[in-house]
Amino acid sequence: MKRGSRKGPGSGAGGSEPARAGDPEGARTGQAGLRGSVGIRRLTEADAPEIARIFNYYVRKSFAAFPDREAGMPFILQVFEQARNYGTYAVELDGTVIGFGMVRPLYPFPNLGAVGEVSYFICPEFTGRGLGGRLVGILEGRARELGMTSLVARVSSRNRRSIRFHRKNGFSLCGRIRGVGEKFGKPFDVVILQKPLYG
């Protein structure tokens, strides 16, 4: 959702647990502070309405999503299609989708496939419960399977919570693109954070 035909939703998740590698796809476990069974599974096209609902909340309410206009279904499906062969996941609570995340190459060229980009969004009422950290861990595990050596996240400079979240989960600041855009009448930069997966 940010650059020409290689659009990405940005990184908006917050969380309180350190990331854990591995892919417990289909596993259902209890999560601190949540009543019910939490599961993480692969996204499907049938999840597009729930993805749109979650993403568009952040479009309307915060800097976690960069756009200032709600995304329509064709746009959501385009983003899903770009990432589906790499790693797309839904977070469920008792069968209801409460978050999603994805990893894909930062650039769409085979010789530049070592760096992946991650994006994730959790429903606001479920942030701060460790779900973001768990999702990052799953995306890291998938990135390693794909042969990626590092991950990047692009975050609005006004989304301080997300910047703190990424630093807590092993990302460090590696760049800043100034004056990228404006939202809610306020200008913002894009902060680029990177995490090595080996070493």
What is the sign, positive or negative, of the torsion defined by CA atoms of 29, 32, 37, 40?
A: negative
Architecture of domain 28-196: 3-Layer(aba) Sandwich (3.40)
pLDDT in tens, 46-76: 999 999 999 999 999 999 999 999 999 999 9
pLDDT of residue 36: 82
**pLDDT at 163 > cutoff 90:** yes
pLDDT in tens, 103-157: 999 999 999 999 999 999 999 999 999 999 999 999 999 999 999 999 999 999 9
Categorize the per-residue pLDDT at 3 as very low, low, confident or very high, splitting at 50, 70 and 90: very low
pTM above 0.75, yes or no: yes
pLDDT in tens, 13-53: 533 233 333 334 444 444 556 778 999 999 999 999 999 99
Measured in whole angstroms, the distance separating CA 99 from the mean position of its chain's CA atoms is: 9
pLDDT of residue 32: 52
Categorize the per-residue pLDDT at 161 as very low, low, confident or very high, splitting at 50, 70 and 90: very high
Secondary structure (3-state) at 136:
helix
C-alpha span between 170 and 197 (Å, rounded): 10
| Residue with token string 């650059």 | 3
Secondary structure (3-state) at 177:
strand
pLDDT of residue 84: 92
pLDDT of residue 33: 63
Q: Are 191 and 173 in contact (CB under 8 A)?
A: yes
Domain boundaries, given as residue ranges, for the chain: 28-196
Categorize the per-residue pLDDT at 12 as very low, low, confident or very high, splitting at 50, 70 and 90: low
Categorize the per-residue pLDDT at 11 as very low, low, confident or very high, splitting at 50, 70 and 90: low
